[in-house]
Amino acid sequence: MISIEQHFNLNRYLLLAVGLWPYQQSKLVRLQFLFFFGILMTAAVAQVSPLFTAKCTSDFIIKILSSTSSFLTFLIKYIAFNANIKFVKDLLAQIEHTYNQLKDENEHAIIEKYGYIAKWYTAVLGTFGIFGTSLFIITQYWTSILDIILPINESRSFHVQIITEYFIDQQKYFFLITLHVTTAYCIGMATLIATGTILVAFIQHFCGMFRLASYRIERMMKIIILENNNPKSKYLIRDEITCAVDIHRQAMKLGELMSSKFEVMLCCLIVMGVISLSLNLLRISQIASSDKNNVKEMVWPFVLSTASILYMFTANYIGQDIIDLNNYLFVTIYNVPWYIIPLNMQKIILFLLQRGTKEYVISVGGLFVGSLECFATLVKASVSYFTVIHSTR
């Protein structure tokens, strides 16, 4: 018996931190969700407000939108994941049910391998998230840190990395404003990591199911070769191929179901990712070409640009894994000596080979396919938009 928390324990802690773990949705947790949602929403509104209250230039608009796009991404993920929290719970239950039907130690080893990979992704992306959050906090409170480390007789001017409008005295309430923005960023980054890594973990477990199907085909080949003269072999072959087809079908079904449930969210994230990367590259270019050339100003857009590229790469790299493992399954089927197995089994083999002519992919809206090619396309599009905007200024 395999507990689902055994494979998703890190994801569980991250989702609990932001109130999105589906198995413990008490009234207190719902209150936590509303509180975090309120912080994210008010932070996003405060960042958009300067567009309506200040004199807008092209540089000013780019500076506002380059940071606002990241907070809108946080908000989209938080709302969309909460809206699909029941589906996440059902998906975890289906994965657990599948794993409780494993047959031998080798199959358990395959699942352990992909479970470990999922944990590795969670740990690495979580580390990047902590690093990016730390950089943001340091730059926000840089003036106060310098006053402690290198005190001087005159006071240093406060500087906020993100332009906001709270309709109050910005200098007087600097620490409260900074605390609100910093809290919103920490919640948003935690949400981004928690929801992103659980989706990565799901896809890794789908990859494990594809690998299980290949293993069962390979095991069937050994039965064909070693026990061809055994009268019971045809029943063993039938069981192996039936199990392989069943778990392959389940993996495809769960993958398609997940992409359909999160389709709107993923489409929004792709659009926001391209916009964020384009605008932050433009912001870096502005700072680098300015007379001041303030390195501190460059930290925030650099962090956001790196986060956008990392997030897009990880999502598409995982999608490429699905494609490669599905192709590996059908390469394994091609190697089956189908001509020496019973006729009814030959028909199933031919059916699987025919199914292999159509590539299985995780797609979003029929427009974006999770693959390294798609990652290159998105980065190219972002750079193209950055180039066009930069050349027209």
User: Is pLDDT of 111 > 90?
Assistant: no
Q: What percent of the chain has pLDDT over 90?
A: 8
Residues 358-381 have a mean pLDDT of: 83
pTM here is: 0.86
Q: What is the mean pLDDT of residues 31-51?
A: 89
Residues paired with residue 368 on neighbouring β-strands, in sequence order: 364
DSSP 3-state assignment of 159?
Answer: coil
pLDDT tens, residue by residue, 134-178: 877 777 666 555 555 655 555 544 455 677 777 777 777 777 888
The angle formed by the CA atoms of residues 186, 188 and 192, to the nearest 5 degrees, is 115
pLDDT at residue 146, rounded to an integer: 54
Task: Tell me the sheet residues that pair with 364.
Answer: 368
Q: Which range scores top for mean pLDDT: 138-147, 263-272, 289-298?
A: 263-272
Q: What is the pLDDT of residue 295?
A: 67
**65-74, 216-225, 231-240, 372-381 — which is least confidently predicted?**
231-240
Q: What is the DSSP letter of 157?
A: P
Selection from 81-90, 280-289, 345-354 with the highest mean pLDDT? 81-90
Question: Cα separations (Å) of 373 from 188, 344, 380?
Answer: 28, 39, 10
Confirm if 351 and 244 have CB atoms less than 8 A apart. Answer: no
Q: Which residue has the tokens 């569980």?
A: 12
Element (H, E) at 368: strand 368-369
Quick count: other Cβ atoms within 10 Å of Cβ 352? 21
DSSP letter assigned to residue 338: G
Instruction: Read off the pLDDT of each residue in 235-253 and give the average, rounded to a whole number.
Output: 80
